Each structure stands twice: as C-alpha cells, then as structure tokens.
Structure 1
Amino acid sequence: MVACLVAWLCSDAVPSAAADETERHVVVVSLDGLAAYLVDDPMVPLPTIRRLAREGSIADGGMTVSNPSVTWPNHTTLLTGVRPEKHGVLANGVLVRGAIGMPTTIDSRRDQRDLVRMPTIVDVAHAAGLSTAEINWPCTRGSDSFDDQFPDVPDSLAHTTPRLRKELVELGLLSDESDASFRRMSAVGRDHIWTEAACHVIRQRKPNLMLVHLLNVDSVHHTLGPQTAAGYTANAYADMCLARIIAAIDDAGIRERTTLIVVSDHGFTSTPKAIRPNVLLRQAGLLTVDGGKISEAQVHVVPEGGIGLVYCTHPGEAARAAEDFKQRLIGQEGVADVVLPAAYAKLGLQHPREYRQSPDAVLVAADGYAVSGSVDGETLVASNTEARTPLGSHGFLSSLPKMKALCVLSGSGIERGTTLSAVENIDIAPTIASLLELDYPASDGKPLTAAMIQRRD
C-alpha cells in the first residue's frame, strides 16, 4: 500500500534539471535540543546560525513542534509535514502493547516501514530521480530511498550503507566497522563523526537532498541542563559542526545552488524535580513490581520527558481506568493536566481505539517537573536525582514556549533578512518539496513562501 502511495505521490513529481550547473540541493541540519530561545541568549556563541539568519530567514520566536515534543516523532513530522496522528510515530520507537495485564514497551529496533505510516518527502524525491543521503536521521532504518545512509538506531553501523561504512574507516573516522567501537565514543565524539561523514558525502556525492542530525546538545542539556556553562559549550560546538558542513558545501562547488535549512526537533527546560505516577499506582495495587521493574499492570505510565503516556491494559475497562487515573493525579503537585482521548485532536494525537500505539491518557507535568517511570520510593514528587530523571527535559506539550524549536533558512532561493511568524514543523516538508520542485500533496503544512525569492517566469 505504501509503495502504491509513493507511486501516486510521485506520478507528477518532476526533478530539477540534471545538469550540474542548474540542479538544486537542499541540506537539512537538525541540531537536536537547540531551543529557539537560545538564539537570542547573548551568553550562547552561535556565530554561524546568526549569520545564516541575517543572510536568510528565521522563525521569529521559534518553530512550533508536534506532540509529543521528543526526537523521533518530530523528525518524522519534519519529513512528512503531518503530525503523529497521521504519521504514527509517538516515541523513539514502536510502542508495543502487551497482553492483558502486561506493560507496554518501546521497541527502537525497527525499520521505517514499521514506524512511519506514509511516504516521506525523501521517498518522493528519490522516486523522482533525485539523489538523497542521511546521517543519523531517525525513523529511516531499512529505507530504500537513500543513496547513502547512517541511521539513528541502535546498532546504526549494521544498517549503514556498506560503501559509506567502508569509506569512514578508510578516512580514519571509524576504527572499524563494528557498532561496539562506535558505541564507546562520547556524545561529542559521535557528533564529530556524523559531521565529518556528512561533509564527506556532500563533497563526494553532492546529494540533492541531504539530512544531518546531531545529538550532543540534547545529551548535554539532559545531563547538566540548558543555559549552563556546559550547555553553552555544547551549543557552540554544534555551531562549529554546522560551519564544517557549510565549508563542505563550498568545497563541493554547490553553494550557489544549495538551500540550507537549520532546525531543531524541540526545545528544553530545566527539571530539577520529577513526578512518579507509577509509585502511586503501585501503592494502589494497580501494578506489581519485580526486581525494580513493572511485571504486571492494570494501569502504568511510560515517561516521555514532560509528559507520560498512560496505558490501561484491559481494553474493556480502559475508559474507566483512564478517568480514575485522572482523578488520582489531577491537582497533585507537579501535575499540570491529564488529557483524555476526547481531547486528543487538539494535541495532534489519535484516539486509542483507532491506533493501538496511542495511550489511554496523557499525563502532563508542570514546567520544572519531569515524568519519571520509576516504581521505587513512597512519594509522588522527588528530586530528579532520586527519581532518576534528567536535569533538563523536553517532551512537554508543544504549547509550552520553551519547547519552540530553531528554524533558519538560508542560501539559494531564500530572501535575505526576513523573519517568519507562526511557523510549524509541518511546514518543512512542503518547503523542501517547493525548493526541489516536487509535488507532495500529503502534507498538512504549507511551504514557507514568505522566506522564498519569488521566481519570475
């Protein structure tokens, strides 16, 4: 069915001229966790990003992201132009509901076809004859639409394009082709490898559509918090990596024909406290614990940073159990809301009776509190250390201003010195389609035409 849909979407797609001097290129760089508010923070050294904004266009106040504001769902929205209610990615993997009485788990070792329910703009571009590549992009494992691939999954090298994997060893970026050696790298070390891999592909292959995803900012913000000395250092390093990618575009001789789109997938906020809903559920006898983990559950919570996905394991009793959960949690310290399925449309989520991965309720933490999956302890509220949650978190509802993401467009086809208002990340895929002259009617977003130089025929 997906293959047929790709064929339909691509039936009228016309790639730009094949000649080197006229073909277009789009490079999308995602700096995971680089919140929009950091661009205006004078403590953050971002010379490359700010120069691109001056020379191009920036989303004023940031770009609104999708719910939940976590990595895989939002990277999928960037490539599909639709929210999770349509593309189906709700977590960093597939949410697998267990049998009655058994907890839901997240399986990250899945291919794109298992995760994403529709063709992406990359599928359409590749089917139209354009060259494509990705470095560390989520929800792309096993895709046939990339000429070069180094996906963001566990055991990523095992799923990397063989020629690229071999080249990275020959360049000395990798000591060998094993995932074991790659996993031993630090977060900043992996960002270095991903950056240099992207530079290599750009110089050697000049793809029409290139995707790059860097993770060190997200890692540091989680561990030590945003707007800290360590956070500022991570922000500066991400900016330097971006400068390396731009230099590679220059080296490839395609700068005048390349549009650079620099985004992030979500913002960040400090979370020195956490709420532990599974502790209350354990105390109420609604779940049991074995060896510090949930062994059985009538109701339990899967944490997603600032929200928790609530799963009721007895389908016939799910509505009643979700309402009971809401009554237990609403009004408690650290709890901003409990959203039931009747209100999911406002969040861009699908009702659980229509989509098995959808939760039976969504627990929303107040700003400053993360949602912990811990079953240990006796109190709902604990410090982030006791609850074993990060000092910095995302995952909050996209309506929280701190969750706004970076969005800068610069280069070929982009007006100089413009600002954009009311930008959503569903607008990125149709913008890519417009820049590459592809039809992509599946998107719910609109091309960011206010940022584009209007062509005159």
Structure 2
Amino acid sequence: MTFRILAIAMLTSLVAACSHLRAPSAEPVAAEAPPVVIMVGLDGLRFDAIDRHEAPNLRALAARGTRPERMVSAMPTKTFVNFYTLATGLYPEHHGMVSNSPYDRRLDETFSNSGGSPQDPRWWGGEPIWITAEQQGLRSHIMFWLGSEVEIDGTRPTIWHPYEHEKPYEERIDEVLTWFDAPVAEQPRFAAVYMDHVDTVLHTNGVGTPQEAEAVARVDALVGQLIAGLEARGVMERTTLLIVSDHGMVDVSTERTIMIDTLADLDGLHIDEFASRYSPGPESFIMGYGDEATVERIHAELQDAHPHMTAYRRQDMPEHWHFDHPDRGPDLFVLADPGWLIITSETDPENPYFTSLRATHGFDNLDETMGATFIGAGPIFPQGSRPAAFENVNVYGLIACALDLEPAPTDGSAEEVERITGGRCPAE
C-alpha cells in the first residue's frame, strides 16, 4: 500500500505564513522546510483518562486534530508488545515481541531487558518506521522507544539512546527540542520520545485516584512544554504531533486472585511468568510451553476450573489476538478476566510487588478498559474529528503518509488510514 499526503498546499501556505519566525539558532526557517512527525509515547494512558482528569494541552491538541474513540492495543496488552507494534505496524505474531519478556522455544532463551537483548537483532522482527525513514533519506532521532537500540538491516536511527529509566521527563523533552535547534538539514524528520509515568503511578495507586489525576496533569504539562518549544522554534506549523499509549489499565485486588496450581498440575510446562524475580505471580495471563501431551492434560484440567479464567491451546486462540509467532507463541495461554490475577500457592502474600499492586493490564485487547489513547494533530488530520476505534497497527501507516514515505509491508489497513485521516491519506 502507498500513502500520500493530499494537504501539501495547505502545509506550504502555513509554513510560508510563519516564515518570519526564527529558530533559536537564528537560522531562517525556509518556506520549503519539510514536514516533521513527532510521536510521544505515554505508557498506560487509558483512552478516557483526559476525559476523567484535567488535561488542557492534550484536549487542545485533540481539538486541533483527531482523537478516535479509542485505540485498540495488540494482544497481549503489555508495554513491549504494543510500543513495538506502534513502531512496525505489525502484530506480535510477525514482529516477535509477544510479551515483555518473550521466551523463544527455538533459541531456548528468554528476552532480558537488563541484558543484551535490546540490542540483539535476533529478538526484533519487522521494519520500524525510523528504519523506513532512514532508508529513504530522512533523519530519525529516537529517545527511549522500544526497539530503537538495535541495528536492523545495517541501519540505525541517526540519534538513539540506551534506555535510562531515571532520566527526568523534563530533560527528555528538552533534548527533543534541542534537535530542532540544529540547521533544518540536520533536524529529524521523524522523532519519538517515551515516558512511563502514568503506567508507573497507576500500578501502585489505581484508576480514578487523585494520583492518576496528578500523573495525567504531569504528562499533559510535558506535552505543553514540547508544543511551546516547537512553537518558539517555528517548527510546530510543519509538525504532525502524535500522542499514543500502549494500553489501558484496570483496578485489581488481592481479593480477586486465582491460585492456578491448585486447579491443575503444572509440571512439565515452562512458564516464564512464574520465574519472576518477585515471586510466582500475580499475573493477568501466563504463557506455557510444553509437549502436546502435557499441554492437553493441563488444558483439560483448567477447562471450566474457574469462572474468571480461560485456558486456550495454541490452536484455539481467538483470531483477533494475532500473537501466534512460530517460535514464541505459547502452546497454552491462560488469561484472567479484567481485574483478576493469576497466582500460585508459592506466591508470597507479603511481597511488596503483590501487596502494592492496585491496577494492571495484559487482559483481552477488546475489553474497553484496555483501550489506549491516540491523538493526532497536523496536516493529515481533520480538525476536531472523533472517528470510531481503530487498531494500533495502523499508526505506522499514518506516519508514512505524513512523511510521504513508501511503507514496508505491515498488518495495517490502507482503508483504516484513509478513514482516520478523513480521506487525506487515500488507499491506493
């Protein structure tokens, strides 16, 4: 599929109108300065968070562009799964990041974010949008986006950073803005920055709490900081700004737990979730790997074993999940209902991770509580539009359209991209 921007004339006039502005470097912003896309990842920002809490900058941005009803996350609704789906336009069955720490049966290894896995190309499938941009001559500058540390097909982003969890969010925004202090030819055409704040706060405080309101206010202020800096540099007029999250959140409780090893004998099943450094569980799901006989036995034992849990053999998983990767898709997938947690008899009830957990994710991606945020403002988006929900595999196509890139093959839909943009990115 090929996407093209139909609003070039409008963009050119906007840039020309503001061509008297000067970047801090005092370099004139040429009327023909090219379009820019900046994607901001806000971990855990549920689709309705800015309706439930004050968020003036995000609301104003949505009023200038589009804010679909919600964005449907890839399954499982975990951070690594979805931020890499956003980057590649692929379902996990094709890009390989099927959980936050996928197990690969062929390699007999588990991805480790604290080890060398983030820069090991064996773990990363597909072509992220920054690689597409670089291969077509457009600079990309990336701050902490999942998958941006690895070289793919001999290519890296022009600027990238190993992940630093403790780097202050304000400093992240400041660094993004410095990228636009450079001469236009040295500025990124695609930029991305990631912040975990909302997710981190909600895990230990819950949905609808004052702490969630404070977290939303903080990321809203950071977006405001970014917009103000772009406006001061005369860049905002030629920028498509995307605000995306990876998943929603739902409240959980130690009173809503399923002790799975009392319902089935799990011997013979490799379950990475229960090899946690915290303790076995609590989890929204578990992925099991084993031989056919073991899987059939445990599946039979778990069928109808608990009203808030469902066990699926590999061949029985719903089609809309799309995470049956040939080497990493589980042989048995056990999923709790939203708000419930899977534990074992070995789960330490005094473990701080367990006792402090107030909200989480990982549940079925069609459940509304797992809905993610998407806000897009720029030339390809109709002002003030509120289209129906769409899948996050289409974000890659939106970026390709905004930058006039020839996209790599994805699982996205050209018709969906056309719908979200009100026809400004026509399907061909």
Bin for the TM-score computed over the shorter chain: 0.7 to 0.9
Distance between the aligned counterparts of 2:351 and 2:367, measured in 1?
A: 20
**Structure 2 counterpart of 1:415:** 382
TM-score scaled by length of structure 1: 0.75
Q: Which has the higher strand share?
A: 1
**Structure 2 counterpart of 1:48:** 57
The one of 171, 174, 177 aligned to 1:196: 174
Q: For the Cα contact (< 8 Å) 2:271–2:286, is it kept in 1?
A: no
Distance between the aligned counterparts of 1:192 and 1:445, measured in 2?
A: 33
Distance between the aligned counterparts of 1:127 and 1:304, measured in 2?
A: 42
Answer yes or no: is 1:452 the counterpart of 2:427: no
Deviation by residue 1:81-139 (Cα, 9 ceiling, x = unmatched): 12101111112244244999xxx744223126222212122111111110101111012
Q: Which amino acid in the other structure matches residue 251 of structure 1?
A: A
Task: Report the CA distance shift for 1:451/1:368 in structure 2 as closer, same or farther (over 3 A).
Answer: closer
Deviation by residue 1:282-309 (Cα, 9 ceiling, x = unmatched): x84x45xxxxxxxxx5443626942211
**Structure 2 counterpart of 1:280:** 262
Corresponding residue SS for 1:331 = coil
RMSD (CA atoms)? 3.2
Corresponding residue SS for 1:137 = coil
The one of 37, 43, 48 aligned to 1:32: 43
Answer yes or no: is 1:128 the counterpart of 2:101: no
**Structure 1 counterpart of 2:208:** 227
Task: Report the CA distance shift for 1:64/1:376 in structure 2 as closer, same or farther (over 3 A).
Answer: closer
Distance between the aligned counterparts of 2:351 and 2:251, measured in 1?
A: 10
Shift of 1:276: 5.6
Deviation by residue 1:336-359 (Cα, 9 ceiling, x = unmatched): 3112111336143354xx622221
Answer yes or no: is 1:371 the counterpart of 2:337: no
**Structure 1 counterpart of 2:17:** none
Answer yes or no: is 1:327 the counterpart of 2:336: no
Structure number with greater CO (CA < 8 Å, separation at least 6) is: 2
Deviation by residue 1:427-449 (Cα, 9 ceiling, x = unmatched): 10011111111111411213533
Deviation by residue 1:24-45 (Cα, 9 ceiling, x = unmatched): 100111110000021321xx11
Number of equivalent positions? 383
Equivalent residue runs for 1:206-221 within 5 Å: 206-221=187-202
Unaligned segments of structure 2, at least 5 residues: 3-7, 13-28, 274-280
Distance between the aligned counterparts of 2:201 and 2:194, measured in 1?
A: 15
Shift of 1:272: 0.9
The one of 301, 306, 312 aligned to 1:339: 312
Shift of 1:361: 1.2
**Structure 2 counterpart of 1:240:** 221
Corresponding residue SS for 1:29 = strand
**Structure 2 counterpart of 1:293:** none
Task: Report the CA distance shift for 1:256/1:305 in structure 2 as closer, same or farther (over 3 A).
Answer: farther
Equivalent residue runs for 1:172-191 within 5 Å: 185=166, 190-191=168-169
The one of 96, 107, 110 aligned to 2:112: 107
Answer yes or no: is 1:309 the counterpart of 2:256: no
Distance between the aligned counterparts of 1:373 and 1:396, measured in 2?
A: 18
Distance between the aligned counterparts of 2:300 and 2:35, measured in 1?
A: 55
Deviation by residue 1:194-227 (Cα, 9 ceiling, x = unmatched): 2222222244453110111110111001111121
**Structure 2 counterpart of 1:253:** 234
Q: For the Cα contact (< 8 Å) 2:40–2:192, is it kept in 1?
A: yes
**Structure 2 counterpart of 1:402:** 369
The one of 55, 76, 83 aligned to 1:75: 83
Corresponding residue SS for 2:365 = coil
Q: For the Cα contact (< 8 Å) 1:203–1:251, is it kept in 2?
A: no
**Structure 2 counterpart of 1:165:** none
Q: Which amino acid in the other structure matches residue 100 of structure 2?
A: N
TM-score scaled by length of structure 2: 0.80
Deviation by residue 1:36-92 (Cα, 9 ceiling, x = unmatched): 021321xx11111111111111111x1111001111111111111121011111122
Distance between the aligned counterparts of 1:399 and 1:265, measured in 2?
A: 14
**Structure 1 counterpart of 2:276:** none
Shift of 1:264: 0.5
Corresponding residue SS for 2:335 = strand
Task: Report the CA distance shift for 1:333/1:229 in structure 2 as closer, same or farther (over 3 A).
Answer: farther
Distance between the aligned counterparts of 1:69 and 1:304, measured in 2?
A: 16
Shift of 1:370: 2.5
Task: Report the CA distance shift for 1:340/1:383 in structure 2 as closer, same or farther (over 3 A).
Answer: farther
Distance between the aligned counterparts of 1:146 and 1:358, measured in 2?
A: 29
Q: For the Cα contact (< 8 Å) 2:381–2:424, is it kept in 1?
A: no
Shift of 1:269: 0.3
Answer yes or no: is 1:63 the counterpart of 2:34: no
Deviation by residue 1:216-255 (Cα, 9 ceiling, x = unmatched): 1110011111211111101110111111111222133211
Deviation by residue 1:306-327 (Cα, 9 ceiling, x = unmatched): 2211222xxxxx2232232233
The one of 139, 142, 146 aligned to 1:138: 146
Q: Which amino acid in the other structure matches residue 280 of structure 1?
A: T
Unaligned segments of structure 1, at least 5 residues: 1-8, 11-15, 157-182, 288-296, 313-317
Corresponding residue SS for 1:148 = coil
Distance between the aligned counterparts of 2:124 and 2:30, measured in 1?
A: 33
Q: For the Cα contact (< 8 Å) 1:372–1:388, is it kept in 2?
A: no
Distance between the aligned counterparts of 1:40 and 1:19, measured in 2?
A: 38
